[in-house]
Structure 1
Amino acid sequence: MTKAIEADRAQPRPTPGSGTRGAAVRVDAVDIRFGSFHAVREISLDIAAGEFLCLLGPSGCGKSTLLSALAGFVTPYQGALTVDGMPVTGPDPERGMVFQSHEALFDWLTVRQNVAFGPRMRGTSRAEQEELADEYLRLVGLRHCADRYPAQLSGGMRQRVQIARVLANQPRLVLMDEPFGALDAQTRQVLQEEMSRIWQASGCTVVFVTHDIDEAILLADRVAVMTAGPAASVKSVYPVDLPRPRDESHPAAVELRRRLRQDIGEEVRKALQDQGLDPEEER
């Protein structure tokens, strides 16, 4: 960690949230279809306020589709999505989305201006915009980069700016679609550790899509494994009963990794068989 980042975090700052301010989420028998294509089938999940839930599963199983429905970008064919008891009927600043690509940032705005964009669109004062931008840039360790442009930052730093921009809207639910998937292994590991700290500081509820079993174990309170698509559903849900920060060599982590690999392996084999391939014959 650089001295500049350490200095950012050492400065006194307001706590982003008081207690748990995350939202409770209910996914109730949700079906999502696109014409004749049946993406997800009768998915039901209850997510507690302030919980960190990871959605894990093989490619094409509808993880990102379900996340888009929670964001209000996709309307379910049937079933209900509610956040703190209120139906999801479209996008809302209280539900922030962090995408895999940092291209969601505005290249013509500085880092501070990117983070202040949401509060500015809500009509907050310039002083409050700057206060929120500074607060969340400190939280992600990038206060020293406030006057740079996205093109002047590394990929990992741009992802941290994107997280700060979402948090500056002070959402109660943060939806993350493989936000570290395009990063190199070393940067990804650093940001995984940072994400755990940022989540605990913000108090938000997080739903995090990943293909990475180790990432899910490192971050999640619970891991929901989805079946292979199409018409995917939830296969299993596992609590991650490990103290933070997580030790990947802990016997409970090793056992959970084994069970998750087994569940996902079954779904991958099923998907291959549905495509007319027999993975056993390939051996």
Structure 2
Amino acid sequence: MTEGIEKETAPGNGALTVATAPAPRTRTEQAAEKRGAALRVEGAGITFGDFRAVQNIDLDIPAGEFLCLLGPSGCGKSTLLSAMAGFIQVSEGSLTADGVPVSGPDPELGMVFQSSEALFDWMTVHQNVTFGPRMRGCSRAEQDRVADEFLGLVGLRHCADRYPGQLSGGMRQRVQIARVLANEPGVVLMDEPFGALDAQTRQVLQQETARIWRSSGCTVVFVTHDIDEAILLADRVAVMTAGPAASIKSLYTVDLPRPRDESDPAALRLRNKLREDIGEEVRKAMRDQGLDDQLDREAKGA
């Protein structure tokens, strides 16, 4: 198997010790010790009336793993992520988090959306981040501790009293991440969260996401169209077939040291394999739509 790429088929001696009180642990340290929640998808299908979005989805995602879902447009990546969040139900098969069926939205399943419009514009950054704890009846002092910790984690303590409209797009996305983490979820689901950002901001947030994931210990499922983004972030990459009725085409383990070097020969080989897999599905989708002539012209450089 090519290095860096793995495609799957699926106190003593009588010594006197003195006990000392351990230093208080932060929430993120406690979360990292917990190592997230395990997700399991078995034979799952999702239909909307006569439309079959995905079928025969099998994924076993260990606690603490970072999994990227990659595939052509319209293949059902976001639909599958919505099912993992409990926003929609699987039509067949099963979907569980730590062995418990996902039957609806749950604080254990945090969702970071592509659009920062998911933030409450009329609330300050502090109020957005503490919304979940406030709804659970946490004291003001506890809310302040939550805001301080998670805004610190995303580097935005200095923005606590600002409103979302006063922030850049990248900063708003970091507030979204802090708001999700403030609920201490076992799983963080991210639906192309950096897709609308400029390249430089996107690169910074990719690095920050990797750092936050290591600090929090959450399981992450991250939807993206970007092959390089998947290689940079993921422990494993799941490639989906073209829709409708999409399934998992291939699953790769990204056995590369962190932080990742995009020029690493193993990273380049993996990029080529992922491009080949996705290219096959894009061509299949175009042929299914009767676009064979266009494919032939493009192949000839017309």
Regarding TM over 0.5, the answer is yes
- C-alpha distance in 2, partners of 1:201/1:235? 31
Does 1:184 pair with 2:198?
A: yes
Deviation of the 1:14 alpha carbon: 2.4
SS of 2:104's partner is: coil
Q: Which residue of 1 aligns with 2:247?
A: 233
Question: 250, 255, 258: which is aligned to 2:272?
Answer: 258
Q: Which residue of 2 aligns with 1:198?
A: 212
Q: Which residue of 2 aligns with 1:51?
A: 65
Q: Deviations over 1:187-216 (max 9, x none)?
A: 000000000000000000000000000000
Q: Which residue of 2 aligns with 1:90?
A: 104
SS of 2:58's partner is: strand
Amino acid at match of 2:69: L
- C-alpha distance in 1, partners of 2:27/2:106? 23
SS of 1:90's partner is: coil
Q: Which residue of 2 aligns with 1:21?
A: 35
Matches within 5 A, 1:107-256: 107-256=121-270
- C-alpha distance in 2, partners of 1:13/1:170? 14
Q: Which moved more, 1:18-27 or 1:65-74?
A: 18-27
- C-alpha distance in 1, partners of 2:140/2:81? 32
Count of equivalent residues: 272
Q: Deviations over 1:67-87 (max 9, x none)?
A: 000000111110000000000
- C-alpha distance in 1, partners of 2:226/2:57? 21
Unaligned runs of 5+ in 1: 1-11
Q: Which residue of 2 aligns with 1:9?
A: none
Q: Which residue of 2 aligns with 1:274?
A: 288
Amino acid at match of 2:247: S
SS of 1:230's partner is: coil
SS of 1:232's partner is: coil
Deviation of the 1:93 alpha carbon: 0.4
Amino acid at match of 1:209: V
Deviation of the 1:28 alpha carbon: 0.5
Amino acid at match of 1:70: M
Deviation of the 1:228 alpha carbon: 0.2
Amino acid at match of 1:208: F
Identical-pair percentage: 76
- C-alpha distance in 2, partners of 1:17/1:238? 29
- C-alpha distance in 1, partners of 2:173/2:205? 9
Q: Which residue of 1 aligns with 2:3?
A: none
Amino acid at match of 1:107: D
Does 1:60 pair with 2:78?
A: no
Deviation of the 1:15 alpha carbon: 5.3
Q: Which residue of 2 aligns with 1:99?
A: 113
- C-alpha distance in 1, partners of 2:263/2:34? 30
- C-alpha distance in 2, partners of 1:24/1:17? 19
- C-alpha distance in 2, partners of 1:122/1:266? 48
Aligned-residue RMSD, C-alpha: 1.1
- C-alpha distance in 1, partners of 2:115/2:286? 28
Deviation of the 1:13 alpha carbon: 8.2
Question: Normalized against structure 1, the TM-score is what?
Answer: 0.94
Distance 1:15-1:117 versus aligned 2 partners, 3 A rule = closer
- C-alpha distance in 2, partners of 1:254/1:280? 27
Runs of 4+ aligned structure 1 residues displaced above 3 Å come to none
Amino acid at match of 1:17: E
- C-alpha distance in 2, partners of 1:260/1:176? 20
SS of 1:100's partner is: coil
- C-alpha distance in 2, partners of 1:243/1:216? 14
- C-alpha distance in 1, partners of 2:51/2:192? 23
Question: Normalized against structure 2, the TM-score is what?
Answer: 0.88
